[in-house]
Amino acid sequence: MTTATRHSAITADVDQLTRPIHVAVQGRVITHPCLLDQLREACTPTGCRTLGVTRSAPGSRPPLRLDLVSSLTEIYGGIATWHSRLGLPHPPCHQDWHKAVLRLLAEAAPTAAPALGDYLGDEVHDWWRMAATGSGWKPDQLYKLR
């Protein structure tokens, strides 16, 4: 894979992980949160509100999806590891740290050594796939939106 192709793939994955997703449906544009936010939301225990009181949703499923929490934890750990490995600067404190560092990783990818860049590209793509499937998207649907 060439450096330009690798960089464009990393950038496309990071864009969908960190920026809202726009889908055109029957002449209207529907905006969905970014994949990272959708995965965070999917990890939140289910519940419903009745007269200001939160109670568990009926059913026998657990209130927390441990597989999604595991995926989110793996993504967060990977982002922190790459941030340290590449010696990237810390983003401003008012920004979402994980999203900001993902964008910094995409910017740093072209200057990384080829083997390191390939490894980063594989990692980012794995995070993208985990976030996409964990939040209910099929990867083929998201490829079409790039």
User: pTM for the complete prediction?
Assistant: 0.83
pLDDT (tens digit, 9 = 90+) per residue, 4-42?
788 899 999 999 999 999 988 899 999 999 999 999 998
In the chain, how many domains are there? 1
Q: What share of the chain is helix, strand, coil (3-state, %, to 5)?
A: 60, 10, 30
Distance CA 84, CA 4 (A): 24
Cross-strand partners of 92: none
pLDDT confidence band for 55 (50 / 70 / 90):
low
Domain region containing 94: 3-144
pLDDT (tens digit, 9 = 90+) per residue, 72-130?
999 999 999 999 999 999 998 899 999 999 999 999 999 989 999 999 999 999 999 99
Per-residue pLDDT at 43: 86
